[in-house]
Amino acid sequence: MRRNSLVRALLVLALLCAGMLFAQSVPVQNINAQRNPNLAEAQKLCSQAFDAVVRAQKANSYDMQGHAEKAKQLLIQASQELGMAAKIADSAAPAKAKGPGTK
């Protein structure tokens, strides 16, 4: 009984991990370009670079000893970091706009 529970828990964990990998299979573009134009442009470039790596993989029959996959994962991570930077910039924007000495 206990072993079945462990196997089920591991299976659920494996499915969750697989779902997370699938959900992060491409860089997202979720930065408001009007609020953060430079960060939005950087995120767009991450997406374009990702697409270029995919094309390179296809042209080389995916044989790049894992380096292209690693590059794609890093581009996804960079896009996520840019999104977090935009959120922080957005949350700091009202404080900057008020200026010193205003309430």
Higher pLDDT, 34 or 16: 34
Domain residue limits, the chain = 26-94
Angle of the 37-59 helix axis to the 67-98 helix axis, nearest 10: 170
Of 85, 94, 83, 80, the C-alpha closest to 31 is 83
Which residue has 């094309």 as its token pair? 55
- In this structure, the number of other CB atoms found within 10 A of the CB of residue 75 comes to 21
pLDDT of residue 2: 77
Distance CA 31, CA 43 (A): 8
What's the mean pLDDT in 89-102?
Answer: 66
Distance CA 99, CA 84 (A): 24
Of 54, 35, 47, the C-alpha closest to 80 is 47
Instruction: Write out pLDDT tens, residues 26-74.
Output: 998 999 999 999 999 999 999 999 999 999 999 998 888 999 999 999 9
Is residue 18 over pLDDT 70?
no
pLDDT of residue 53: 96
Put simply, whether the predicted model's pTM sits higher than 0.75 gets the answer no
Is residue 97 over pLDDT 60?
no
To the nearest whole number, what is the mean pLDDT of the chain? 83
